[in-house]
C-alpha cells in the first residue's frame, strides 16, 4: 500500500473514534457539538506522555483516554441537567473554551537538549514516538485499527447489555426512564465519560500519527463532522457512524472529481439524508430487519443440517 | 401502606390538587375517580416524585417520600404506569420489560421476562423480539402494564389504563388488574370509566376540582345519589387531553 492510501485509511480509523463518541451521545438523545475538545485534550495529554515524559504508547493512550473521560464526566455533571438545546450550546462553549486555553498553555521540558511540550499558539511539536522507534505508517495503521476493533466490540457488547437499553431509553424518553427507577443523570454522566474516553483514544492516536498538533485542529468543524457521521451512517448500531466516516473520508476523499466540492457534496448528503432517513442509513428499523434476516438465515441453515 | 395528608400541588399559581388526604392499605385496589382536569394525575405524579408538592405529607410504609426524585421512589417499591401507553418505541418488547426489572437484575445482564408474565400477557409473549413501536395501541398498553409489573412493585399506580381502548380491550385490562390483586398486589387506580372502576375497586375517592368530595367503599359509592347523578347518569365524556 502506498503512503497515501495508508494515510487515508489511518484518518478514517482515527476519525471513527470521534464519530463513535458523538454517536454514543446521540443514542442517549444528546447532541454534543463539543466532542472535539476531548479528542484535542487527549492529543495533548498523550503527546506529552510520550514526548515529555518518555512513557510507552499504551500508557499515553490510556492517560489520554482517562483525562478526556474524566473531563467529560466533570463537564457532564455541570451541563447534563440542562435540556436539549441548552446542553448542545454548553458543549460548544466548553469546546471553544478548551481550544482557547490550549492556545495559551506553554509547558515545556528539556528532553535530550531540546525543548518539548505545548507551546501556546505555536502548537505542540515533536511528538516523535513513531520516528524514535522506527514504526512504519502501516504498522501504526494496524495499531489504530486494533484499538478501533476493541472499542467497537466493547460498544457492541454494551448495546446488547442492559446498559445499552438504558442508553436508548434515555434517548427515547427521559422522564419515562426515570420512572423505571433509573437515575438518569448518573447514566448520562456515565455515557458522557465513555464518549469522552472514546474520543480521547482517537486524539491520542492522532497526536502520534501527525507528530504535531495545534488547538486549531480541534475546532467546531471536527465536532460537527463527528455528529454528521452518526446521522448519515445511522443510529441503529455502532457500525452506523463508521459507515458515515467511510462515506465522507473514504468515498469523497478518494473520488477525485469531487475534489474542491467535497464540503458541498457532504453538506448536501447530510441534508438529503436528514429528510429521507432522519436516523441515518442503518437506523433502528433497518438494523432490526437485518438482524431478523440474519437469524432466519441461521435457522434455515440449522434446519438443513 | 401509603398515606397522603393535606397534599397541595399547583402549577404557576393554579391549584390542581387542593388539600387531598387519602390512604391505601396493603392488598387493596383504591381508586380515584373524577372528571378530566380534576387533579387525578397530579396526585399520582406527586406520589411518584414527578412533580413536587407545595405542601402536604406523603408517607409510604411509615417513611416520608415527599420530594424524592422519581427513581428513588421506584426503589422504595412504588411504580407508576403513566397514562398514554408510554413505551420505548426503539427498543424491543423484551428490552422494554427487562429495563423495568433492572433493580432485580445486574448492571450488565438482561433478565428474561418472568414466566408468570407470559401467562398474564399472552399477546406479548410471542412478540418479545419485535420493536415496541410495531405494537398496536392495545398491545402497547399491555406492554406498559407488563413493564410496571416486571418492576415488582409493592404499590402500583395506574393512570387511566383503559383510556382510548376498545370496550373488549378495556374489559381485558380490568380483568387483569383484578387478577393482579388476587396475586397480592396493591393498586392505586385513576380512572374515568367510573362504572367498571367501582365494580373492581375496594374503596374509592371522588375528586372534583382538586378536592375530595366523596369517599368510601366502592359498593356504597356505586349507589350514592350524588355520584349517580354526576357521573353515572351521563355518558362518560371522551377525553384526549392528558390531565
Does the beta-carbon distance from A176 to B105 stay under 8 Å? no
> Hey, how many other C-beta atoms are within 10 angstroms of the C-beta on A56?
12
- Contact of B155 with chain A, judged by CB distance below 8 Å, is answered with no
Do A179 and B88 count as a contact with CB atoms less than 8 A apart? no
Contact A162 B70 (CB under 8 A): no
- Alpha-helical segments (H) within chain A: 3-27, 35-51, 57-79, 84-104, 129-132, 137-160, 162-172, 174-178, 184-210, 220-233, 239-245, 253-254, 262-276, 284-304
CB < 8 Å to B99, chain A: 162, 165-166, 169, 177, 180, 182
pLDDT digits 0-9 by tens, A114-135: 888 898 888 898 888 888 888 8
Is the confidence at residue B234, as pLDDT, over 60?
no
Mapped onto helix, strand or coil, the DSSP state of residue B44 is helix
Model pLDDT, residue B222 = 81
> Which ipTM was obtained for this model?
0.85
Q: CB-based contact (8 Å) between B74 and chain A?
A: yes
Which residue on chain B is closest to A28 by alpha carbon?
B90
Interface check B91 vs A, CB under 8 A: yes
What nine digits make up the cell of B87? 413505551
Q: Using one digit for the tens of pLDDT, what is the confidence trace for B112-129?
A: 556 667 778 888 888 888
As given in the structure block, the three cell numbers for residue B197 are 372502576
Of the candidates A161, A177, A183, the beta carbon closest to that of B110 is on: A161
More confident residue, A151 or A115: A151
User: Which DSSP letter does residue B231 get?
Assistant: I
Q: Exposure of B154 by Cβ count < 10 A (0-12 exposed, 13-18 middle, 19+ buried)?
A: middle
Contact A14, A208 (CB under 8 A): no
Q: Which three cell numbers stand for residue B129?
A: 423480539
User: What are the grid coordinates assigned to B221, written together?
Assistant: 359509592
Of B142, B137, B134, the closest CA to residue B158 belongs to B142
| pLDDT classification of B231: cutoffs 50, 70, 90 | low
Of B71, B90, B111, the CB nearest to A178: B71
Compare CB distances from A179 to B70, B95, B108 and report the shortest one's residue: B70
Dist CA A168 CA A98 (whole Å): 29
Instruction: Using the predicted structure, report yes or no on whether residue B202 has a pLDDT greater than 80.
Output: yes
Contact between B59 and B6 (Cβ < 8 Å): no
A247-to-A135, A203, A240, A287 alpha-carbon distances in Å = 28, 21, 11, 18
With both helix axes pointing from N to C terminus, report the angle between A35-51 and A3-27 in degrees, rounded to the nearest 10. Answer: 130
Is A200 within 8 Å of A41 (Cβ atoms)? yes
Helix A184-210 to helix A3-27 angle (10° resolution) is: 170
Cell numbers at residue B147, please?
413493564
- Residue A118 and residue A102 in contact, taking contact as beta carbons nearer than 8 Å: yes
The rounded distance, in Å, linking the Cα atoms of A170 and B88 is 9
Residues of chain B found within 8 Å of residue A162, distances taken between Cβ atoms: 98-99, 102, 105-111
Residue with cell 420512572: A179
Task: Determine the pLDDT at residue B115.
Answer: 62
What are the Cα distances from residue A123, in Å, to A43, A103, A108, A210? 11, 8, 12, 12
Amino acid at each position: 500500500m502506498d503512503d497515501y492510501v495508508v494515510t487515508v485509511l489511518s484518518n478514517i480509523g482515527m476519525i471513527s473514534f470521534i464519530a463513535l463518541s458523538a454517536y454514543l451521545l446521540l443514542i442517549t438523545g444528546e447532541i454534543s457539538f463539543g466532542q472535539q475538545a476531548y479528542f484535542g485534550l487527549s492529543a495533548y495529554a498523550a503527546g506529552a506522555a510520550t514526548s515529555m515524559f518518555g512513557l510507552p504508547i499504551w500508557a499515553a493512550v490510556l492517560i489520554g483516554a482517562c483525562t478526556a473521560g474524566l473531563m467529560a464526566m466533570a463537564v457532564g455533571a455541570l451541563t447534563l441537567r440542562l435540556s436539549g438545546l441548552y446542553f448542545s450550546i454548553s458543549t460548544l462553549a466548553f469546546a471553544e473554551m478548551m481550544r482557547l486555553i490550549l492556545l495559551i498553555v506553554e509547558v515545556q521540558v528539556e528532553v535530550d537538549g531540546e525543548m518539548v511540550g505545548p507551546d501556546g499558539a505555536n502548537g505542540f511539536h515533536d511528538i516523535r514516538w513513531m520516528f524514535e522507534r522506527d514504526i512504519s505508517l502501516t504498522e501504526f495503521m494496524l495499531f489504530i485499527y486494533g484499538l478501533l476493533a476493541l472499542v467497537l466490540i466493547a460498544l457492541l457488547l454494551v448495546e446488547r447489555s442492559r446498559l445499552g437499553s438504558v442508553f436508548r431509553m434515555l434517548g427515547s424518553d427521559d422522564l419515562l426512564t426515570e420512572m423505571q427507577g433509573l437515575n438518569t443523570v448518573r447514566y448520562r454522566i456515565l455515557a458522557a465519560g465513555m464518549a469522552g474516553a472514546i474520543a480521547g483514544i482517537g486524539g491520542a492516536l492522532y497526536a502520534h500519527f501527525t507528530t504535531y498538533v495545534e488547538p486549531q485542529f480541534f475546532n467546531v468543524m471536527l465536532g460537527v463532522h463527528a455528529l454528521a457521521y452518526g446521522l448519515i451512517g445511522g443510529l441503529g448500531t455502532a457500525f452506523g457512524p463508521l459507515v458515515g466516516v467511510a462515506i465522507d473520508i473514504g468515498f469523497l476523499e478518494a473520488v477525485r472529481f469531487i475534489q474542491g466540492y467535497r464540503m458541498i457534496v457532504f453538506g448536501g448528503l447530510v441534508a438529503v439524508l436528514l429528510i429521507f432517513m432522519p436516523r441515518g442509513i442503518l437506523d433502528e428499523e433497518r438494523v432490526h430487519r437485518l438482524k431478523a434476516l440474519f437469524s432466519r438465515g441461521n435457522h434455515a441453515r440449522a434446519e438443513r443440517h | 401502606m401509603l398515606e397522603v395528608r393535606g397534599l397541595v400541588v399547583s402549577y404557576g399559581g393554579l391549584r390542581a390538587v387542593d388539600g387531598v388526604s387519602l390512604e391505601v392499605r396493603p392488598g387493596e385496589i383504591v381508586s380515584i375517580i373524577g372528571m378530566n382536569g380534576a387533579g387525578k394525575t397530579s396526585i399520582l405524579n406527586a406520589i411518584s416524585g414527578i412533580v413536587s408538592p407545595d405542601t402536604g405529607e406523603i408517607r409510604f410504609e411509615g417513611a416520608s417520600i415527599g420530594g424524592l426524585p422519581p427513581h428513588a421512589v421506584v426503589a422504595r417499591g412504588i411504580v407508576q404506569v403513566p397514562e398514554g401507553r408510554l413505551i420505548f418505541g426503539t427498543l424491543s418488547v423484551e428490552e422494554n420489560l427487562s429495563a423495568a426489572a433492572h433493580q432485580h437484575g445486574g448492571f450488565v445482564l438482561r433478565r428474561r421476562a418472568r414466566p408468570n408474565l407470559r401467562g398474564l400477557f399472552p399477546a406479548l409473549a410471542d412478540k418479545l423480539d419485535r420493536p415496541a413501536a410495531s405494537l398496536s395501541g392495545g398491545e402497547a398498553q399491555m406492554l406498559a402494564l407488563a413493564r410496571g409489573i416486571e418492576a415488582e412493585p409493592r404499590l402500583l399506580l395506574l393512570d387511566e389504563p383503559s383510556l382510548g381502548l376498545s370496550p373488549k380491550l378495556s374489559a381485558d385490562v380490568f380483568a387483569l388488574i383484578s387478577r393482579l390483586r388476587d396475586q397480592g398486589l396493591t393498586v392505586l387506580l385513576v380512572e374515568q370509566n367510573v362504572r367498571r372502576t367501582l365494580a373492581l375497586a375496594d374503596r374509592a375517592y371522588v375528586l372534583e376540582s382538586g378536592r375530595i368530595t366523596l369517599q368510601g367503599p366502592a359498593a356504597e359509592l356505586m349507589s350514592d345519589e350524588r355520584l349517580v347523578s354526576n357521573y353515572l347518569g351521563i355518558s362518560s365524556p371522551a377525553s384526549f387531553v392528558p390531565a
